[in-house]
Amino acid sequence: MPGTTTSSAIAHIESTPVAHPHHLRAVAPRTAAPADDAPMTDAELMRHNVEALCSHMLWLRAWWEGHEQAIRAADRRAAACIHDHFIDGAGFARSIVRQEGFETDEQRMRNYSWGRSMQTVRMIEGAQ
C-alpha cells in the first residue's frame, strides 16, 4: 500500500477479513505447535505467511542470480521481462524482513548449489 509502513500494512492485512481462511491454514508453519496446543491466531498465521513469502522471494532472487545468465543466453527477451520482478520482489521482501525482524540467511541462499556439483560451488565460493 503506497504511503504506509510495512508494520501498518501488516496490521491492515491482519484486520482484513479473509475470504477463505482454510487456504491459509493449509500452509501453517512446520514449527507450529502440536495439534493439542492452542491453534495459531489469524494475526500469527498472517505474520507467518508474510515471513514465508519473504523467504521464498529471497530464495527466488538467489536462484535468479545463479541462473540469469543462462536464461538470458537462451531467451534474452524472456530474461528481460522477468528480471525486474526478481530484483524488485527481493527488495520489498528484504525491507519487510528488516522491519519485522524476520530471520533469513541470505548468504546460504546465495551459496546454495541449485543442483551444481560441489566442485562448482567451491569455485563460486572461492571467487567471492
Higher pLDDT, 22 or 84: 84
For cell 541462499, the residue is 109
Residue 93: how many CB atoms within 10 A of its CB?
A: 23
- Give alpha helix (H) positions in 1-127: 6-15, 21-25, 42-74, 76-100, 106-111, 118-127
For cell 514465508, the residue is 52
Higher pLDDT, 127 or 77: 77
pLDDT tens per residue, range 8-31: 545 544 454 444 444 444 444 445
pLDDT tens per residue, range 94-113: 999 989 888 887 788 888 88
* 106: helix, strand or coil: helix
Residue 3 C-beta-side C-alpha neighbours within 13 Å: 0
> Which pLDDT score, from 0 to 100, does residue 117 have?
62
| Cβ-based neighbours of 19, under 8 Å, separated by 6 or more | none
> Which pLDDT score, from 0 to 100, does residue 87 have?
94
